């Protein structure tokens, strides 16, 4: 005998709610350790892993309240396993939204931790990737929650996002934003064949735009004599990248700054030349310049030097 239509919908709704509350199967979320962030750092020849957990025993439901679990090991996988073993409840990664890699990561380290997250942590699709800042972490218990809050605020206000899948978008380089104490964020290019290329200020934001990880540029430039806020979008054709700047607000912060818009464009040109120069010997192509040249000129053509065209609109 078939159920009445309204009772059938009620039954389906109850099943859906029960699945959500239990994390799509297993014990209820209230009985699990809900992971919001997974951080890694290199320490004493090994690795340290930190789990930033929702504090379900706190009276407030605020997302600023966390528990911390940490572990050390010879490899990232071992450190993560020991951090998990320090917890009493079953670990749940379905609400994970932030992973942080060591500040001195190499291409190999980034890919290794990326595969670890894919295979073991089973992260949620909203996961964001950052690198730690240059300052060493002295205590995860004291600093873990603050780092989580700072990077989530950076992601929200600077509108920069590097997803887990972007670690594998290019076979020979990773491009990742990094925690910064003096700017919105740093940006790090990790080529397989070459040293890390770390930039800050407007150079970092230009690199993020060219890698497709943001469309927003905001901050000071020209040694603090100018300030801007602008929407940016890069479109490539052949060896030329057209950088469209829209809704720009340019402000002079010094008497020596006569034309803040022109000075901003000049700094971007210098930053572009610096980035391309450092990438030249690595063979990597994080800005997809080779692809666009192939699409325009065909196979077998000699690659031309990239050119940045800045269009203010």
Q: Residue 38: what pLDDT?
A: 97
Q: What is the DSSP letter of 136?
A: P
Which residues have a Cβ under 8 Å from the Cβ of 116 and sit 6 or more positions away? 76, 77, 80
Pairing of β 98-101 and β 128-131: parallel
Identical fold, 31-199 and 202-313: no
Q: Which helix (H) or strand (E) holds 83?
A: helix 76-85
Structure tokens given for 298: 């065909």
Q: Are 19 and 29 in contact (CB under 8 A)?
A: no
Query: What phi and psi, each to the nearest 5 degrees, are found at residue 141?
Result: -60, -35
Separation in Å, CA 38 to CA 18, 45, 62, 169: 27, 20, 19, 21
Q: pTM for this structure?
A: 0.85
SS3 65: coil
Structure tokens given for 300: 């077998």
Provide CATH code, domain 202-313: 3.30.300.210
For residue 188, the cross-strand partners are: 176, 198
Q: Does domain 31-199 have CATH number 3.30.420.40?
A: yes
> Please, what is the angle between helix 201-210 and helix 260-280, to 10°?
70
Q: Residue 240: what pLDDT?
A: 86
Q: Are 221 and 245 in contact (CB under 8 A)?
A: no
Which residues have a Cβ under 8 Å from the Cβ of 149 and sit 6 or more positions away? 64
Between CA 51 and CA 39 the distance in angstroms is 7
**Residues of the chain under the 50 pLDDT cut:** 1, 3, 7, 11, 14-23, 302
Query: What phi and psi, each to the nearest 5 degrees, are found at residue 31?
Result: -105, 10
For the chain, give every domain's residue range: 31-199, 202-313
Q: Residue 20: what pLDDT?
A: 46
Q: What is the DSSP letter of 30?
A: G
Separation in Å, CA 245 to CA 210, 228, 238, 312: 13, 11, 20, 5
């Amino acid at each position: 005998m078939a159920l009445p239509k309204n009772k059938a919908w009620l039954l389906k709704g109850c099943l859906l709610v029960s699945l959500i509350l239990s994390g799509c199967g297993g014990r209820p979320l209230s009985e699990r350790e809900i992971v919001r962030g997974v951080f890694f750092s290199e320490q004493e020849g090994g690795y340290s892993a930190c789990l930033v957990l929702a504090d379900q025993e706190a009276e407030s439901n605020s997302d600023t309240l966390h528990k911390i679990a940490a572990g050390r090991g010879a490899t990232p996988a071992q450190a993560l396993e020991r951090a998990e073993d320090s917890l009493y409840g079953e670990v749940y990664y379905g609400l994970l939204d932030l992973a942080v890699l060591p500040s001195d990561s190499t291409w190999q380290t980034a890919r290794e931790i990326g595969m670890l997250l894919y295979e073991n942590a089973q992260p949620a699709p909203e996961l964001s990737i950052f690198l730690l800042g240059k300052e060493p972490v002295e205590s995860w218990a004291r600093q873990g929650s603050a780092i989580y809050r700072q990077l989530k605020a950076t992601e929200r206000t600077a509108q920069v996002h590097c997803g887990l899948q972007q670690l594998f978008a290019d076979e020979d380089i990773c491009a990742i934003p990094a925690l910064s104490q003096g700017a919105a964020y740093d940006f790090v290019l990790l080529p397989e064949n070459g040293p890390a290329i770390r930039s800050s200020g407007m150079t970092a934001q230009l690199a993020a735009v060219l890698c497709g990880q943001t469309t927003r540029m905001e901050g000071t430039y020209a040694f603090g004599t100018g300030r801007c806020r602008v929407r940016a979008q890069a479109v490539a054709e052949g060896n030329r990248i057209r950088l469209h700047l829209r809704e720009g607000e340019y402000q002079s912060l010094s008497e020596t700054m006569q034309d803040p818009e022109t000075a901003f464009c000049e700094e971007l040109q210098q930053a572009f030349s610096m980035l391309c120069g450092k990438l030249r010997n690595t063979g990597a192509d994080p800005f997809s310049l080779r692809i666009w040249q192939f699409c325009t000129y065909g196979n077998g053509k000699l690659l031309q030097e990239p050119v940045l065209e800045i269009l203010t609109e």
